[in-house]
Structure formats: structure tokens, C-alpha cells
Chains A and B, each alone.
Chain A
Amino acid sequence: MATLESLGNETIDDLGLEEQEVIVGRSLRQMAWLRIKRDWVARTCMFLLLLILVVALLAGPICAFFGVDPVTGHIELVQQDGSSLPIGPWGGASWAHPLGIEPGYGRDLMARLLAGSRTSLLIATVATTISISMGVVIGVFAGNLRGRADAIMSRFIDLMLAFPVLLLILAMSPILTERVTNFYAQFHWDNDTLNHWANVTMLILLLSVFSWPYLARIIRGQVLSLREREFVEAAISLGATNRSILFKELLPNLWGPIIVFTTLSFPGVIAAEAGLAYLGVSVQEPDSSWGKILTYSIGYFVQDPAYFFIPLGLLVVVVLSFNLLGDALRDALDPRANRS
């Protein structure tokens, strides 16, 4: 007499399901991660960016290891014929100065690039974080509240997008620097530290304040369409509170656009910092940032190509990697793509 258990086993054996490959249900996040892992371009970009980040974080030890620093000049290493170009090929590269030295004072290029990396990466990271948080919060609120509040917020977003941002940043920078310097004066730092942080804060504020509306608009649109979806309706009909809908239903679905926007906004901030440095809005001597180094080095494009191409190469690698990574992430997070 066949028990229920054996009957069940028999049926499964008969169907031969054991041999068949088991189809695993994967969430979009898991699939995106799998796709990214398979994509060698995305892997290479992530590796390069992590490498640059680690090197920038270890700037102090690396400089100490080579015995260089970003401030000391080496007049004896530049030509005394008035051109102040570094002596020797490759921008005066040697064991003591692996990437050569700057024309002029003869400061070590590697040390300056490392110091500049810290500044630029710090500015880009904090500015991106601020603009993303503002964009998400305002976008979610506008989309979630709907009605009049949404209309007002949308108009505000439109208004922010209408301003000539570069001009406003240029016009605001001297005033903001002054205000921030006055604010920091209470901490009694020495002059260099004060100048450094005042300028960095000014750049962070100006670069973040004007970049959130783009994300806010995208997020608002997403929230509006998500709110009409069945799973949100189901949650509402089950009596979910507004808060749990926001955190459990809406936010998890917004990760895609947020991540993609982050990877595209970060290089945007770095490029914007470079453009501002060209227009004279940057950290002050002897501080350095990527944009500042590049702005100086462009004048030596012909006479001292190494001094020019090393900073440019670094900047392009970072921006390019982020853009490529952003593209790969967008493809990976595309729910319409083939789920395999």
C-alpha cells in the first residue's frame, strides 16, 4: 500500500524533475550584482577607482616613503635660464621625484597630485552626498505628497534648474568664502588650515546646492509612477502606514536611479571643480586640487608635456571610469533587460 509520502516521491521521480536545472528566482538587486561581476569593463573601472581612492587616503605614508612633500620647492632642479622648466626628461622624473617636478618652484608633482586628489575627492564625495540626499528627500516628498505641495515643489525645482549655475557660483564664491572664513575663525586654526577648509567648504556648498534639482525631478517622476503600481495599492489596502509605504515599498525601488545618478554626478562634480579652477575659483596656494594643477599645467602643454599629461591622464581616468561604471550600472539595473 502506497503511503501518501511514497506516492509523492513516485510522482516526482516519474516527472524526472530531479535532473532538471533548478530555476532560481533572483531579485533585481542580485541580478544587477551578477551582471556587474560578469562585466569586465565595470570590474576594471571599480578596481581603478578603488585604487585611486586608497592611494589618496594613504597620501601621507606614500609621501613619507618617497621623502617628498607638496610644499617644498626644489629650485636647484629647475633650469635657471628664466624658463624654470624642470631639468631632465619626463618632467625631471627621478627616484627622488617619481612623477617629476613642477616647473617654477620645482615642487614634487606626485606629492601635489596626492594632496590634490584628497581635496578633489573630498569635495566630490561630500558634494555628491549632499546633493543626492537633498534630491532624494525633496523628490520623494514632492511625489508622495502630490497635489498642491507637489506643484509648489515642482515649480521650485524648475526655478532652480533655470538659473545660470556657473555664473551664480562665480558670483557667490567670494562672499561665501568670506562668510565661511568668519564662521571657522572661532576654531582658532592656523592660517593655512583655515584657508584650506574655508575654500573646500565653499566649493562643496556651491557644487552641491545647484545640482540636487536634477535628481529631485527624476525621483519625483519615479515616485509618482510607483505610487500607481499594484504593489503599493496592495500595501495601502492592507492598511500600511504612509511611513512604511515610503520605506518598504518606494525607497527600495528608487535605488536604481539613485545609484546611477551618483556614479554620473561624481565625475560631474570633479569636472566642474576643474572648470571652476580654470575660472579662478579654487583652493588657494599652496593647496592643490586636480583642477588647479591642470589649470597651471595647461600652460606647459608644449614645453613640458609630462607635467601636463600626468594630471590630465589621472583626471580622465577617474571621470571615464565613473562614466563607464554608470553606464554599466544602468544596463545592469534595467528591469527590462534579459533576466539571466
Chain B
Amino acid sequence: MVPYIVRRLVVLVGMLFALSLITYILFYAVPTDPASLSCGVHCTPEAVAANRHRLGLDDPFYIQYWNWVKAIFLGRDFGTGYVAMHCDVPCFGFSWNRQMMVTDVITSVMPVTIYLAIGAFVVWMTVGIFTGILAARYKGSIFDRGVMAITLVGFSLPSFFIGLVILIFFVVRWQIVPYPNYVPPTEDFGKFFMCMLLPWITLAILYAAYYTRLTRSQMLDTMNEDYIRTARAKGLPEKVVIRKHAFRAGLTPIVTSAGLDFAGLLGGAIITEKIFGLTGLGSVAIKAVENLDLSILVAITLLGGVFVVVANLIVDILYAAIDPRVRVK
């Protein structure tokens, strides 16, 4: 087990390096001048040049990349004298649009995205797996057909549509829930809950449809296996057969998908955040795209990639723990 994990960790480091390099190249190729964005209305060419030098933007590409990577681990100082700025570890640079360190921007909005992802994850996994198992258990019944039809339609609706319809009805029309106005849970949990409820449901609907179908097909696949027949033949109650034998075996692909989807959401649920006006990573990313705020874009892209790569590793290690055959490969 340990050699397997070590091997995977080495690969992970390589992946992270490649990820950062590709991200940096992609955004380095953007033909804008961050320095000219940095000095506002009263701008002189000298001021731009000075800022460019201060941020190290006049260095060749590979030196910029090296400095950028180094800053993540060691921190960095921009400029000297009274214009000097210190950027703490992990340093992702400075955002001129916001006049803030990128790391501060990200850590200030990260909780919103994390709460959004966790809440939606809990809702969709419970609903999806439970409905999926029931649909598989009563295959061909009206319940099963109804669930399959609903999930298929839910699957086919454009992603932003569900959120907007929920917003229009529950907030604007019926006024059951106030318009989401984010409050940290530590401050007022009730308000926080009411604010996050609709975003959670919106995100969860999209994923629940998929997980219901996935769970159902997985269950049906394993229910045809010989050992399920054996379990039934030896007189186990159907509940135990489903819970202990069929569900366990069918769980692995669900774990894989769930880990990756959750990690993907941590990188920012762009559309849902935009619909409900939540200031999470997704909204910050959209703003950064509009303002061509490259340092933020690079950081968020990299962060999103890191979440997925790490989730991949965790899922694989879980796999190896469950199924010893994986380790040998």
C-alpha cells in the first residue's frame, strides 16, 4: 500500500507542475499588459514602465514563471522603498483591479464556494443514491418510470434554466425565501441557511438527476451478479442483500464520480453563483475575466485544477484500499 501511495504522490507532483506551467502559458499568451491596467486614469508611460518593473513583468517568460512558482512557496516582495509590498506565502501575485493580494481575495470568498459545494453535495448524494436504489429495487414500476422520466428531463434542461426558474418563483413571485444575501454561518446560521437553500437545491437538482441514474444502473448491473443470487438463495432478507451486497459492490464508480464532481465544484460554481449573486470563486472568476485580471484568473484556474488532481488521488487511494487488485497494476 505505501509504495503505491508514494508512486502516486510522485505522479501528483509532476501533474501539479504541468498544471501550473500550462495555466501560466495559457494566460501568458493573453495579449494584454497587466502593467497598463495598474495605474488608472492618470497614466504616463513612465508610470507604466515603473509598475512593470516593480511587478517583474519586463523579465523573460521563464523567469516570470520561476518567480511566480517561487512566490507560492516562499512569498515575494514587490518593489523597494516606500512602494514595497510584501506578499505572504502562498503568494499568487497582486490584483490591480481590486488593489489586493490575490491570496487575500481568494481566501475571503473561498468559504462561500466551500459551503455551497458541501451543502449541494450532501443534498444530491442523499437524494440521488436513495432514489436510485429505490428505482432499481422497484425496476419497471410506476415509481421507477416516473423517476427515470423526471431525471431525463432534468438532465436535458439547460443548467442556468433551473436556477432562474427557482429564483423567479420562490423569491420574486411567492416570496417564500428572501433574495440570497450572504451571511457567514458563524454570524447568523438561520439567515445563512435561508440564503444558501436555493443555491444548494439548484446545484443539487442537476447532479441528483445524474446520480440517480448512475446509482440505478450500477445497482441493476450488480443485482444480476451470481453472488446476489447466492445471497438471496441462502435466505438473506432483501434489505440486507441490497444494502450489504449489491450497494457495496456498485459503490465504487459512484465514489469516483462524486469525488471528482465535488472537487470540480470547489473550483467555483460559476453559473449558480452568478444566478444567485453569491460572491464565491465563480463570481470572482467572471469578474476577473471581464477585467482581464490575469493574476486572479491564473490562481483560480490552478486552484480548480489542484482540487481535481488531489481528489483524483484520494479516490484512487480509496479504491486501492477497497480493491487490492488495483495496487498491482
Contacts and interface: CB of A to CB of B under 8 A. Distances in A.
Interface of A: 155, 158-159, 161-164, 166-168, 170-172, 174-175, 178, 267, 271, 274-275, 278-279, 291, 294-295, 298, 301-302, 312, 315-316, 319-320, 323-324
Given A162-B309, A167-B268, A271-B158, A298 B153 contact: no
B160 interface: yes
A267 to B, nearest CB: 7
A319 B158 CA distance: 9
Nearest to A270: B158
Contacts of A267: 156
Contacts of A166: 270-271
A164 B153 contact: no
Nearest to A164: B304
A278 B271 contact: yes
Interface string B13-50: 01100110011001101110000000000000000000
B27 A170 contact: no
B109 to A, nearest CB: 14
Contacts of B156: 267, 271, 316, 319-320, 323
Given A164-B304, A164-B305, A278-B271, A302 B168 contact: yes
B269 to A, nearest CB: 9
Contacts of A171: 26-27, 30, 288-289, 297, 301
Given A171-B289, A175-B30, A275-B271, A159 B152 contact: no
Interface of B: 11, 14-15, 18-19, 22-23, 26-27, 29-31, 152-153, 155-161, 164-165, 168, 173, 264, 267-268, 270-271, 274, 285-286, 288-289, 292, 297, 300-301, 304-305, 308-309, 312
Given A171-B289, A291-B158, A155 B11 contact: yes
Contact of A162 (B157, B274, B292, B312): B312
Contacts of A168: 26, 301
Contacts of B165: 301
26 contacts: A155-B15, A158-B15, A162-B312, A163-B19, A163-B23, A163-B305, A164-B267, A164-B268, A164-B304, A164-B305, A167-B300, A167-B301, A168-B26, A171-B30, A175-B30, A274-B158, A275-B158, A279-B271, A298-B161, A298-B164, A301-B165, A315-B158, A316-B153, A316-B157, A320-B152, A323-B152
